Each structure stands twice: as C-alpha cells, then as structure tokens.
Amino acid sequence: MIAYTGARVFNGQTLLVDHALVVDAGGATNIMPQAELPQRTKTHPLAGGILSPGFVDLQVNGGGGVMLNSAPDLATLRIMATAHRRLGTHALLPTLITDTPAHSRAAIAAVTEALHQGIPGIAGLHLEGPHLSVARKGAHDGNLIRSLTADDISMLTDAVAQIPNLIMTLAPENATPDQIAALTEAGVLVSLGHSDCDYDTAMRAFDAGARMATHLFNAMSQANARAPGLVGAALDHPRVASGLIADGVHVHPAMIRAALAANRGAAEVFLVTDAMATGGSDITSFTLNDREILRREGRLTLADGTLAGADLSLLQAVRYMHETVGEPLERPLARATVIPAGMLPKPPELDQATAMIWIKDDLSELHWLTEL
C-alpha cells in the first residue's frame, strides 16, 4: 500500500485538502484523511497539484495525426487512444463523422474487436451521422446525409449488443420518434445534433428516448424569445445531458454561463473535445471526406472558414471553464470525468491507480499517477 500526499484530491464532487490517495497492492484507490493513515504507511509526497480520475471524452474524431473516417480499423484506434492518453484521457468514444454505410460497419467491427482485445482507452463508439440535417451539416458531407432506415436500426441494434457504450447522433428531421424509441429500447444512446428542428420536435424526440445533445449551441437551431429551438429544448428537458466544446471558439463564455444557469434537469452539461487528427499531434492540416481541414490559431476549419471539430484537450477545456467561464474548479473536473462516465451504460472504472492523473495547480500540465 502507498499513500500519495501533498496534493488536493478530487473525489468526483469536491477537491479535498489534507487527504491522501491510497493505492492498495491490487491498484485500487481509496481516499482518506492524512491524519488517519495507518502508522508505517509508505507515502509518496507530492509538491501540490491535484489528483483526479483521468478524463472521459465522448466525442473524439481523431488524434495522433489520424482520423477514424480515414481508416476505421484497429491500428487507427490504437493511435487515437495513445495520443489522447498523453492528454490525460482515460476513456474515449472514437467518433465516426457522417460517411458511407460501409464505413459505419467497419467502425463498428473495429471497435467491437478493440473491446474484445481490451485496447486501453477505447470505451465504445460514437456515430455522428449520417442521419442529420443538411441545413445544419457543418463540416459533414451533405452528399452522405440521409434518413434513418429499418436496415440502419437493425445494424445499430446488432452493434449495441457488442458495444454497450454506443452513441448515435441524429437529427429528428431524419428520424421519427418511433425510430428513436426503438434505438433507445435496444440500448443505443441517442443524441440530437446537427439539427434545425424546432423546440416541439426536439422535445418529442427527447420524450421518445433521446438523452443527449451533441456539442450544445453548435450546428443546431438556436434559442430566441419565441422559438427556443434545439438549444432551448436540450436545456429545458429534465432528462437530457449536453456535450459542450469549451475552447473559446465554439461558444462564447457568456452563453456557456447562461446555459449552465438555465439547465433544468438533473442531467448535466459535460465537456467534449470534438478532437480531430490534430489531437496529440503537431500536424497543421489533414483531410476529411477528401476535403482539407486547416489548423490555424487554435481553430480547425474548412477552406471556407466552416468550423471542423476542435483543436482542444480536456485539460484545456477544464482550464477555460474555470478561468474564463468562472466555475469553481470542481465543476469542470466533474464535467470532464464522472459526469460523462455516468452517462454510459457501462462506465469506465475511475477508481484504479491506472486511471488517475496528477494535474499541476495552474492547470498547465498533467502526468499519470503511475508515472510519478
């Protein structure tokens, strides 16, 4: 047994001071007051910092120089997981952006095999499209967007039997409430996104079983006084959690504060990176569906300036939420760890030493506990 002392310890809700993170011989962790440590306990003093579970990211399109869309296979998944582990991510959902049915099937097969092999970091799959709204397609290829069919539902029902953590982002313009209910009953986590629907349509989709909204505010109908849109519905429905890209580019901090104050239900806003091939790499451009995406000044855009994912790590998002949005540090830490983990039918284990990270007090860097 070893006790890590000298750092604040995040227990999922609170940053505890004068506590130790105790790791037993099997790697399980426990938190206890330093004053109550048994005599002769071996200690590992730390010079401040924060001990926290590693991050959980439910929307990761790429990393390490590769995109899932470009090669939906095991090699790509390993590269992505390794790249994001360097950024403090313990568990991620590789995300396939709108593509062909063949690519969807390949991504399902690759993630199924990754889970079977136990590839570290791969916790499930997020299919973002192709059943979206062309009006709110963003960087998605409009030529590949289409309605949800019975064959799609059959494919997803088979997939979720092998991939318990399966998110499907769709627009209610291209999926009926009955179809959403069928996916939900099968175990698929349905998320609304890339949609121009009105408030009532969104609420019907949420009532049918959709439980999430994909990158709140971005690529969706906005909220105004007489037409709350998908933004308003996501914040108003008591059982809906919303992903958020907190990078200072996608959403203004004033709107983030307004959303956090307006969120009505017990389900909470959680942080995502929407990371692309640039995550954990130094590349300055890459391709998606044969279109070049450029990395400039913290933005990823198509040639016409359309935002195309984010150049962001979850540590950067936590820092932005704390320093710019103004949340107490415990809240963005939860939004990057226990809140997204709790959304999943099969949550990743966050109480093992291998899942813990040490974060510098100024939130500028991190290291894995096992590497200290």
Name the residues annotated as catalytic: 274
Task: Estimate to the nearest angstrom the gap between the alpha carbon of 175 and the chain centroid.
Answer: 23
Between CA 153 and CA 157 the distance in angstroms is 6
For residue 138, give both structure tokens. Answer: 């963003």
Sheet containing 299-301: give its strands across: 285-288, 291-296, 299-301
Instruction: Check whether 192 is labelled as a binding-site residue.
Output: no
| 69 marked among binding-site residues | no
Tokens of 259: 């959303």
* 150 is annotated as contributing to ligand binding: no
Report the first-to-last Cα separation within the chain, whole angstroms: 16
- Look up residue 271 and give its two tokens: 């942080």
Question: Does 232 carry a binding-site annotation?
Answer: no
Annotated binding residue 250: yes
Residue 218 marked in a binding site: yes
- Is 215 marked as a binding-site residue? yes
* Strand ranges (E), 98-231: 125-128, 166-170, 189-192, 212-213
Cβ partners under 8 Å of residue 62, min gap 6: 68, 69, 70, 80, 275, 276, 277, 278, 279, 286, 309
Q: Is 105 annotated as a binding residue?
A: no
| Residue 194, token pair as written in the block | 């890339």
**Which of 240, 224, 242 has its CA nearest to residue 232?**
224
- Residue entry with tokens 């121009």: 196
Does 322 belong to an annotated binding site? no
Do the Cβ atoms of 314 and 87 come closer than 8 Å?
A: yes
Distance from C-alpha of 148 to C-alpha of 330, rounded to nearest angstrom: 39
How is residue 193 written in tokens? 């996104």
Q: Is there a binding annotation on residue 230?
A: no
Whether residue 140 is annotated as binding a ligand: the answer is no
DSSP structure string for 211-249: -EESSTTTTBPPP-SS--HHHHHHHHSTT-EEEE--SSS
Given a contact cutoff of 8 angstroms between Cβ atoms, the answer to whether 82 and 74 are in contact is: no
Where is the binding site for Zn(2+), in residues?
128, 194, 215
Give the annotated binding-site residues: 128, 139, 194, 215, 218-219, 226, 250, 307-309
Annotated binding site for substrate: 139, 218-219, 226, 250, 307-309
